[in-house]
Chain A
């Protein structure tokens, strides 16, 4: 039984059936226009990522020696063969961006699932049991949190050796304490409430109390955090790439592309602008979806 279904059963006793729940969820979700826009855009990115080989006009690493730093097609000297221009070694920017979407989504998925699962487990244990367990878990998390995330990730990658996989491992380690802290804080807040006392009085077992009674009421911040950290995983990976510690050239990762383009900022605006726009819009779309999820899932904000 996953946490999400436990959440739904625990909270919504008015209606039966998954379908009804899904419909209700969609009703709330689609109320939020931004969230729907985010979802549509995100779906496009997923589509592009999956079919990158068919959509991209050129191979991401194919060099056209006759076209270095060619501007986008609407500017003088641009041509439709390279819609967003070419970079300093004559590679098509659009094709590289399209292939780059694969890396970003992949990074987000792996990092979030790893850090969420471990983080929630630890946080729930700490917040519920308190005492010595709590102290040990939180001190370890404090140590990790004490290092600024990007700096720790940077050092971790420097240790492991610069590569995309190592960057993902580093980012997952660095993000996990946020889940632990959030879960613990929420659990502690809930523990003082009457319904928890009531559940104890009627003799609910500990595990059930933890996962079925308390956890669902703590899920709202966690879901928002999961969405936000999906996007911040993409951002951090791009930042590591930008600093030369993430995906290595010639990988068409967006951050790495920006790093390669940095020296041309005043000469060729397109090589700097487009990868950034790609990062920003993708991350923004995911964050919009995260907000929609929160509004749809948070029972406290529902005004029925």
Chain B
């Protein structure tokens, strides 16, 4: 599917490669043949799927490196950023939503909900620019772009800059990578955080008005047990759905965040590839990202069964 989509992209990659100087007719035809663009579409498709089954995503037209290799070098950067973002989002969002629900109508509730709604409404590319103006431009606390300062160099071990910089044992390397990570993480966490807090609150509210919660209360169970065990378990179903859906949101956010902060990850690479009409890279990248998101969705589906036996039985 990705193949059909992408091959329809208008524009001629070979012409684009030639750049301003232009290119003779013969050279053009020759290049088209090298990349196989002169063959009929269906033939290109089958040879692509064949390669795909052998784990070959093709070679980037621009850099001439295998797409899979490029993806794998850049992937940890995005994962590191996304993990930090989702950790921020879950650890702040879940408790905030729960407390807001149990204290419905209080100032805390209103504050959390206003904040969450503002976060949800935030155009994150603008939010990133504002943070750059404030923290990097005016205060000068954080760097504007990249993953780590150029002063430090070490062989990547895990690909996660935070861990690598710790392992390298260089003084200041960890701090440097940390300060590069802070702003992008905050920007990327904004929307998931808001979504998780809102969803937790509304799910808790819905569950708290159910009969069995009243029954539990009537039985004389303490509020901690009612909320923590009876209510939370059922409220978690929509919340987990939403957390699962955030993985896609994170990748989408990564496109904008990485573009703004020049973070060398998948998002920026995809945008660049689209603009360069690097078919194999866009195709391979889309497929790989889709595979990752699908895996997470599968895990979420399996989690449903663990949490709510009802769904397991009806299947």
**A294 nearest CB neighbor, chain B only:** B202
| A145 B248 Cβ-Cβ under 8 A | yes
Chain A residues with a Cβ closer than 8 Å to the other chain, count: 51
Asked if B303 CB lies within 8 Å of chain A CBs, one says: no
Contact with B along A108-146 (1 / 0, CB 8 A): 000000000000000000000000000000000011011
| A269 B126 Cβ-Cβ under 8 A | no
Q: Cα distance A276–B122 when bound, in Å?
A: 9
Q: Cα distance A94–B146 when bound, in Å?
A: 34
Asked if B8 CB lies within 8 Å of chain A CBs, one says: yes
**B123 nearest CB neighbor, chain A only:** A279
Q: Cα distance A155–B111 when bound, in Å?
A: 38
Asked if A284 CB lies within 8 Å of chain B CBs, one says: yes
| B118 A280 Cβ-Cβ under 8 A | yes
| B274 A265 Cβ-Cβ under 8 A | no
What distance in Å separates the Cβ of B181 from its nearest Cβ neighbour in chain A? 21
Q: From residue 70 to 106 of chain A, which have CB atoms closer than 8 A to chain B?
A: none
| A258 B125 Cβ-Cβ under 8 A | yes
Asked if B161 CB lies within 8 Å of chain A CBs, one says: no
| B255 A154 Cβ-Cβ under 8 A | yes
Q: Cα distance A156–B286 when bound, in Å?
A: 12
What are the residues of chain A within 8 A of B205 when measuring CB–CB? 301
Q: Tell me which of B271, B293, B311 contacts A147 (CB under 8 A).
A: B293
| B256 A151 Cβ-Cβ under 8 A | no
What distance in Å separates the Cβ of A214 from its nearest Cβ neighbour in chain B? 15
Which size class do B's interface residues fall under? 35 or more
Q: Cα distance A238–B124 when bound, in Å?
A: 10
Asked if A209 CB lies within 8 Å of chain B CBs, one says: no
| B123 A239 Cβ-Cβ under 8 A | yes
| B123 A143 Cβ-Cβ under 8 A | no
What distance in Å separates the Cβ of A251 from its nearest Cβ neighbour in chain B? 17
Q: Cα distance A44–B259 when bound, in Å?
A: 33
**A152 nearest CB neighbor, chain B only:** B286
| A155 B137 Cβ-Cβ under 8 A | no
Contact with B along A232-267 (1 / 0, CB 8 A): 000100110011000000000001001000100110
Given the known inter-chain contacts A151-B286, A154-B255, please indicate yes or no for A161 contacting B10, CB distance below 8 A: yes
Q: Tell me which of B1, B255, B293 contacts A145 (CB under 8 A).
A: B293
With A148-B254, A287-B120 already in contact, 16 other A-B pairs whose C-beta atoms are closer than 8 Å: A146-B289, A148-B249, A148-B251, A150-B256, A154-B270, A159-B6, A192-B310, A192-B314, A243-B256, A243-B271, A262-B129, A266-B133, A276-B123, A276-B127, A279-B126, A287-B121
